Copies of this chain bind each other. A is one copy, B any other.
Amino acid sequence: MRRLMSLFGRPLAQLGRRKLQTLPVAAERQLHGRSVDSIEPRPLCMQSKCGEKQPPQTLRWGIAPVNLMTEDFATALSVLPAHRHSITSCMDAYRSQATAFANKHRVPKIYTSFEDLARCPDVDAVYISPLNAMHCELCHLMLNHDKHVLCEQPLGMTEQQVVELVGKARARGLFLMEGIWPRCIPAYHILRHEIMRCKLGRIFAVECTLGWQLPTASPKAAEYAGVAKDLAPYGIQLALWVYREVPQQLRVSGKLNRDGIDVAADIDLIFKGNRRARLVLSAEQDLQNTATIRGTKGSAIMNSLWCPTELTFENRDFQFELPVAERSTHFNNRIALCYEAEEIRSCILAGLTESSLFNHDESRLMVHLTSQIKEMLEEDDQDARFQQKQAVG
């Protein structure tokens, strides 16, 4: 077990002017005292409203680069009014790929280098989703060219990288968000609201399972980041959404494959007052992608960690019908990226550099926690090997 408060006392104190304890304030201000119906949440403007006084401001997106995730993002934008979001340019190193994407999603400009896209004057915000290790470099490039950025998680591979990125975005007055999109969808808002109204009593447990058999029998470092970096963030962000504080301790056990990649892990995050979150993760077997939140008055179950369409309280069921686009998404329920896009547009129009739904401090905490978990899994493995060796010797 690792005591986090002592371990990262220093990093915590340096988490910027806004302390981590202030994470949920914005959301709390937003939700407190309003009924569920009134917050149902940041309603999507699915159709153009007549009689808007101000002409609607269109957020002009650049896509860097085109791939299956980007396809889903474009599909998600297609359910939103065209005067609110448009994709004005897309990039792929191969012109044929960029052209195919542009034809499919009616994108007027194509580029074959990230740098040319970064220089495009018709782009306000860039959606970044390539290989994890390249996120940070692309974020810097886009920020350097005064573009707002939505970047798939992780923002960086190290805490230092995230700190530098966040510093740059703030200094340049640009919006930057790590793509933890569950935070933007309806079920998460309802969950938070019900928790704040004490419908579950005092919460003492969050339980998440998430796993699937990777197509690769023995993933290597170049191809797979491991469950700590790849799957844990889904559970961690839920735990932080529920408890609204920094965990005090971590308890981790798991399994590394022969190439040293963590392919299974049981992770306990322990919060103040012995309240817990347990994540059961696997890259070797299919597990249910579900979450249960237990409190003294009852429990809630989400049918998916990242985009629940059903949220079940003991005395109430919520169903969330997702928007329907002309084409389906490649990944499950990614049509709900439309909620994230709307959140980002609102923030940018309001002149914000971060979203209160998943802010810069949380990005920093996230990379801190996942790095700690990875490190503990590796230490654990070394201990086990040492003990095995001792036993044999």
Residue positions of A touching B, CB distance < 8 A? 65, 93-96, 112-116, 134, 137-138, 141, 215-220
Within the complex, which residue of B96, B134, B217 is in contact with A216, where a contact is CB–CB below 8 Å? B217
B93, B96, B219: the one within 8 Å of A93 (CB): B93
Asked if B137 and A94 sit within 8 Å, CB to CB, the answer is yes
Docked-complex contact B134 and A94, CB < 8 angstroms: yes
Indicate how many identical chains form the complex: 2
> Please, which residues of chain B bring their CB within 8 A of the CB of A95?
115, 137, 141
Which residues of chain B are within 8 angstroms of A137 by Cβ–Cβ distance? 94-96
Given B112, B134, B138, B217, which contacts A215 in the complex, CB threshold below 8 Å?
B217
Could you list 18 A-B pairs, sorted by A, with CB under 8 Å?
A65-B93, A93-B93, A93-B113, A93-B114, A94-B134, A94-B138, A95-B115, A95-B137, A95-B141, A112-B113, A113-B113, A113-B115, A113-B116, A215-B219, A215-B220, A216-B216, A216-B217, A217-B217
Q: Which residue of B lies closest to A96 (CB)?
A: B137
Min CB distance A220 to B, Å, is 7
Interchain residue pairs A-B with the least CB separation, the first 4? A113-B113, A217-B217, A93-B93, A112-B113
**Residues of chain B contacted by A112 (CB below 8 angstroms):** 113-115
Which of chain B's residues have a CB closer than 8 A to the CB of A116? 113
A218 and B213 alpha carbons, distance in the complex (Å): 11
| Alpha-carbon distance between A298 and B113 when the two chains are bound, in angstroms | 57
Question: Of A94, A95, A116, which is in contact with the most chain B CB atoms at under 10 Å from its CB?
Answer: A94
- CB-defined contacts of A215 to chain B, threshold 8 Å: 216-220
A268: min CB distance to chain B, Å: 31
Which residues from B are CB-within-8-Å of A218?
215
Closest chain B CB from A346 CB (angstroms): 31
Q: Which residues of B contact A93 (CB under 8 A)?
A: 65, 93, 113-114
Besides A94-B138, A112-B114, 6 new A-B residue pairs in contact (Cβ under 8 A), listed by A number: A93-B113, A93-B114, A95-B141, A96-B137, A215-B217, A215-B219
User: How many whole Å from A290's CB to the nearest CB in chain B?
Assistant: 26
Whole-angstrom distance between the alpha carbons of A134 and B65 in the complex?
Answer: 16
| Neighbouring B residues of A220 by C-beta, 8 Å | 215
- By beta carbon, the residue of chain B nearest A113 is B113
Q: With the chains together, A95 CA to B141 CA distance in Å?
A: 10
Q: Please, how many angstroms separate the alpha-carbon atoms of A390 and B171 in the complex? A: 71
Question: How many Å lie between the Cα of A215 and that of B217 in the bound state?
Answer: 6
A130 to B: closest C-beta gap in Å: 8
Q: How far is the CA of A93 from the CA of B94 in the complex (A)?
A: 10
Q: CB-CB < 8 A to A113: which residues of B? A: 93, 112-113, 115-116
A96 — which chain B residues lie within 8 A by C-beta? 134, 137
